[in-house]
Amino acid sequence: MTLIRLTETGPGVTVGLADEQVRLLAASGVVDIAPGPAARQWRLRGRGTVGAARIGDVELRVEPKVPVARLLFLLGYARDPRFWRDEPVLLAAEAELVPAFAGALRRQMSRALAAGVLHGYRSVDEASPVLRGRLRETDQIGRHLGQPMPLEIRHDEFTVDIAENRILATAAYRMLRVPGIDDQSRRILRHLLGNLTGVTLLAPGASPPAWVPSRLNARYHTAVRLAELVLAATSVEVTVGEVAANGLLIDMPSLFEDFLTTAVRDSVARRHGGMIRGQHQLWLDRAGRHRMAVDIAWVAGGRVKAVIDAKYKTYKPIDDLYQMLAYCTVLGLPHGHLVYAAGIPETHQLRNSEVELTCHAIDLDLTPNVLLNQVDRLVDEIVTTGISTVRVA
């Protein structure tokens, strides 16, 4: 097994690789790969995906540029802003992403299961010689052509095989398959998984089942929400490009866009009104041949009043300005907004055009409350420029 460590940003590393390793890494799309200074040497750089993965016989670990605790907050807030604003999940002092995630998961699962495994009622459909619950008349007639036995019934079963336990068990199972997990977390997660005997694991690619937070499952809330984050980032066989990779992988540009969309939506709802549309669709040309998608659109009174593009980078290539100018031109907006993950804010007044483009920056290194306050100020600034003359269909 070849171990390769990278950081999300930076010059990358030069390593010796076999032809098959090069092919698999290139096909995975997790890293950029280019010929190195000598024969059979290759230069690898991160390309926005962080985490750990086993690709063929290469174990790849890419550490994020933002603190691990902040990354977990961004993930959680993008899924459920109310919970992750009020109940932050504390991480230990692990510097690396995978041990930090594994440690947080086993601590929260240990707390959730300390008082025993939660049981609940689950609706079961089955064929039975004994009537329990109620008869499913349509299935009885359709499957057995009027025969009295067996009976097609539906009944409630008191069981450990409920949605909350399925999410926890699957998250623990998948985390155990991630390369780079620490020995303590591996040992404890195996023990916790053993406590969940009788719980059905989710199939690869299946969405987590719905569950309803309540007083009865209150001790599970934090653990289940954290487990859902693990499920979003891990899989037994996540297909990346043409290659199946075992691991925990997070696409940072997508995460930044998801977080910003959720934070802006929350801020607009609390402070200004209207609605936020993510990935708002529009046509560039009158013939409708070229479709565009705006990351974030603020709609009020039936009109798009502001558009925002999320950019997970620090530099500002001119292509970004071209893109935003196209959005503003199609929508008839005099002002467009690009939000970068770092950098110095600046406004561009375009020649021979009344459109202004403002590049904003938010600092992901800030603590959650300060970061969200920064988004509030950003929204206030954007709303003041929100003027539109084009009605949304």
CA–CA gap between residue 186 and residue 99 (Å, rounded): 10
β-strands 346-349, 356-361: how paired? antiparallel
And the tokens for 382?
């954007």
Contact 51/102 with Cβ under 8 angstroms? no
Q: What pLDDT sits at residue 392?
A: 41
For 93, other C-beta atoms within 10 Å of its C-beta total: 8
pLDDT beyond 70 at 387: no
Of the chain, the percentage scoring pLDDT greater than 90 comes to 55
pLDDT beyond 90 at 105: yes
Q: Average of pLDDT values for 114-128?
A: 81
Q: What pLDDT sits at residue 161?
A: 92
CA dihedral 40, 41, 47, 50 (to 10 degrees): 100
Alpha helical stretches, state H, 114-199: 137-144, 163-176, 183-195
Of the chain, the percentage scoring pLDDT greater than 70 comes to 84
- Amino acid making up residue 269: A
CA–CA gap between residue 104 and residue 181 (Å, rounded): 12
CA–CA gap between residue 303 and residue 144 (Å, rounded): 57
The structural domains of the chain, with segments of one domain joined by +, span 2-63, 120-159, 272-384
Q: Whole-number mean pLDDT of the chain?
A: 86
- Which tens digit of pLDDT belongs to each residue from 248-287? 999 999 999 999 999 999 999 998 999 999 999 999 998 8
CA–CA gap between residue 380 and residue 319 (Å, rounded): 26
Highest mean pLDDT among 55-59, 120-124, 231-235: 55-59
CA–CA gap between residue 337 and residue 356 (Å, rounded): 9
CA–CA gap between residue 306 and residue 296 (Å, rounded): 8
Q: Average of pLDDT values for 164-173?
A: 96
Handedness of CA 253, 257, 260, 266 (dihedral sign): negative
Specify the fold of 272-384.
Trna Endonuclease; Chain: A, domain 1 (3.40.1350)
- Which tens digit of pLDDT belongs to each residue from 294-321? 999 999 988 899 999 999 987 778 999 9
And the tokens for 208?
């987590």
Q: Which residues contact 78 (CB under 8 A, 6 or more apart)?
A: 255, 258, 259, 261, 262
Residue ranges of E strands in the chain: 2-7, 13-16, 31-35, 41-46, 49-55, 58-63, 120-128, 134-135, 151-159, 234-240, 243-251, 275-283, 291-300, 303-311, 335-340, 346-349, 356-361
Q: What pLDDT sits at residue 361?
A: 93
β-strands 13-16, 31-35: how paired? unpaired
Contact 174/221 with Cβ under 8 angstroms? no
Confidence of residue 156 (pLDDT cuts 50, 70, 90): low
The secondary structure of residue 313, as a DSSP letter, is: S
Contact 11/37 with Cβ under 8 angstroms? no
CA–CA gap between residue 45 and residue 31 (Å, rounded): 6
Handedness of CA 368, 372, 377, 378 (dihedral sign): positive
CA dihedral 325, 327, 329, 335 (to 10 degrees): -70
pLDDT beyond 60 at 120: yes
Which of the pair, 263 or 89, is modelled with greater confidence? 263
Q: Which helix (H) or strand (E) holds 67?
A: none
**Residue showing tokens 């007044």:** 349
Q: What pLDDT sits at residue 389?
A: 43
